[in-house]
């Protein structure tokens, strides 16, 4: 098996030997992944239906990053972040997945090192390996799941080409504070100057619009000029099977012309990695839609309060749609198996390189939450 495939094997084994085995059981309460457990929003179907009928002969022709879609994203992102993003600096991608793959292909050479934090989303490592880069993993701070900037700074070498930051974070739900991002920007600027080569920061923000009340999202792009942002509509719309997202370059990033070309070449040569025509035509309407954040927050609170009461350890997430919970048994896979036998599916933390934890996806319904609570209580008592 290649190293790339090896880095994905744990997840595939979990999906095929565990999730696929249990998920179609009648009455199952599925908290394993960020998948919809209810019908898609009518507004989403309406947006696609509105643009289905071709308006020109090129409506369904080969698409690159469509000018209208680029303009929409640049305008909305500029309003949102208060920086003037340029349409030419936006690449429409096949979700955040496609944005990250494209950024890796455009920025990395074999032997480059890329730093990211643990626990982590599963696919950074295989995408880095695919480009011949070396993943360098630094744990987050145990006490509050914040980035450990000192350890990141110590992990930088002259081969470091990129740092990936994911905020709001999957799986911890942490939004990194402005003070942390300021310190990170300082460390990256110093190291870039020391080594005479810019270190890029890829800010992976597919959950950027899923922020709970009382929290504010700071983006690394506000603090560090060599930043690119990856984004997906699959989270805010809860339609991860309709693949669209974008990769945006900071307007403060110098020499962007070269990078624009490298990004488009990466998308073409990677297998025409542009989102489908219909999704690009619909993007202006999709921008106005979101899952119900009030309901999401209610689910977070009901689940978190109940689990804390039962004696589970967790930190209330500030964004995204996951709870990151300490496993009462050191073997989180075993604990997930115990829950699964009682009709509750969670993701063992080991799969995200966070052993000793498990992840609950709050995309499950409130009914699933209510049905699962006695199972969580009984499993806690047994340990
Ligand atoms: C942190 C993170 N980055 C990127 C992605 C990829 O998003 P998408 O599948 O919408 O492209 C995910 C999806 O779970 C994620 O959690």
- Give pLDDT tens digits for 225-283: 999 999 999 999 999 999 999 999 999 999 999 999 999 999 999 999 999 999 999 99
204 lines ligand 1 (CB under 6 A): yes
170 lines ligand 1 (CB under 6 A): yes
CATH topology match: 3-40+292-382 vs 44-286: no
232 lines ligand 1 (CB under 6 A): yes
- The burial of 244, by beta-carbon neighbours within 10 Å (0-12 exposed, 13-18 middle, 19 or more buried), is given as buried
Sign for the pseudo-dihedral over CA of 341, 347, 349, 353:
positive
Query: What is the CATH number assigned to the segment(s) 3-40+292-382?
Result: 3.90.1150.10
Sign for the pseudo-dihedral over CA of 281, 35, 168, 347:
negative
Sign for the pseudo-dihedral over CA of 172, 142, 130, 87:
positive
Q: Categorize the per-residue pLDDT at 382 as very low, low, confident or very high, splitting at 50, 70 and 90.
A: confident
The ligand 1 atom at the shortest distance from the C-alpha of residue 33 is 14
70: its two tokens: 């680029």
Query: What is the CATH number assigned to the segment(s) 44-286?
Result: 3.40.640.10
Q: Which of 95, 205, 319 to mutate to test the pocket of ligand 1 (most atoms within 8 A of CB)?
A: 95
Distance (Å, whole) CA 121 – CA 235: 14
- Give pLDDT tens digits for 309-350: 999 999 999 999 999 999 999 999 999 999 999 999 999 999
pLDDT at position 2, please?
83
Q: What is the DSSP letter of 216?
A: -
245 lines ligand 1 (CB under 6 A): yes
- For residue 219, how far is its CA from the centre of ligand 1 (angstroms)? 17
Residue % of the chain over a pLDDT of 90: 97
When pLDDT is averaged across residues 60-79 and rounded to a whole number, the result is: 98
Question: What average pLDDT is seen over the chain?
Answer: 97
**Cα–Cα distances in angstroms (integers) from residue 85 to residues 37, 98, 221, in the given order:** 35, 20, 11
- Give pLDDT tens digits for 147-160: 999 999 999 999 99
Structural domain spans, the chain = 3-40+292-382, 44-286
- For residue 209, how far is its CA from the centre of ligand 1 (angstroms)? 13
- For residue 309, how far is its CA from the centre of ligand 1 (angstroms)? 31
pLDDT at position 58, please?
98
pLDDT at position 105, please?
97
When pLDDT is averaged across residues 109-136 and rounded to a whole number, the result is: 97
39: its two tokens: 């019908």
pLDDT at position 132, please?
97
The ligand 1 atom at the shortest distance from the C-alpha of residue 98 is 11
């Amino acid at each position: 098996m290649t190293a790339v495939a090896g880095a994905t094997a744990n997840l595939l084994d979990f999906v095929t030997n565990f999730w696929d085995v249990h998920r179609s059981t009648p009455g199952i309460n599925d908290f394993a992944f960020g998948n919809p457990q209810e019908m898609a929003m009518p507004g989403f179907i309406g947006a696609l239906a509105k643009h289905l009928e071709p308006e020109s002969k090129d409506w369904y022709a080969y698409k690159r990053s469509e000018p209208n879609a680029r303009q929409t994203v640049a305008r909305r992102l500029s309003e949102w972040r208060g920086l003037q993003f340029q349409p030419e600096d936006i690449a429409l991608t096949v979700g955040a997945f496609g944005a990250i793959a494209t950024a890796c292909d455009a920025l990395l050479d074999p032997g480059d090192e890329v730093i990211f934090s643990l626990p982590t989303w599963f696919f950074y490592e295989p995408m880095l390996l695919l480009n011949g880069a070396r993943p360098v993993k630094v744990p987050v701070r145990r006490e509050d799941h914040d980035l450990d900037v000192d350890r990141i700074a110590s992990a930088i070498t002259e081969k470091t080409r990129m740092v990936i930051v994911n905020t709001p974070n999957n799986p911890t739900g942490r939004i990194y504070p402005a003070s942390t991002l300021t310190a990170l920007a300082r460390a990256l600027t110093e190291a870039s100057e020391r080594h005479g080569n810019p270190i890029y920061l890829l800010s992976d923000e597919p959950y950027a619009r899923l922020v709970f009340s009382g929290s504010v999202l700071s983006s690394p792009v506000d603090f560090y000029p060599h930043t690119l942002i990856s984004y997906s509509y699959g989270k805010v719309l809860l339609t991860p099977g309709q693949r669209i997202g974008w990769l945006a370059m900071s307007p403060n990033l110098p020499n962007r012309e070269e990078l624009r070309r490298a990004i488009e070449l990466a998308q073409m040569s990677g297998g025409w990695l542009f989102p489908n025509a219909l999704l690009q035509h619909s993007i202006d309407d999709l921008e106005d839609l979101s899952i119900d954040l009030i309901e999401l927050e209610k689910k977070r609170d009901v689940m978190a309060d109940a689990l804390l009461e039962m004696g589970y350890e967790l930190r209330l997430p500030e964004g995204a749609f996951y709870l990151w919970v300490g496993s009462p048994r050191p073997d989180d896979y075993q604990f997930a198996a115990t829950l699964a036998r009682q009709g509750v599916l969670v993701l063992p933390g080991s799969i995200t390189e966070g052993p000793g934890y498990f992840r609950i996806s709050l995309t499950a319904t409130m009914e699933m939450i209510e049905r699962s609570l006695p199972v969580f209580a009984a499993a806690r008592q047994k340990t």
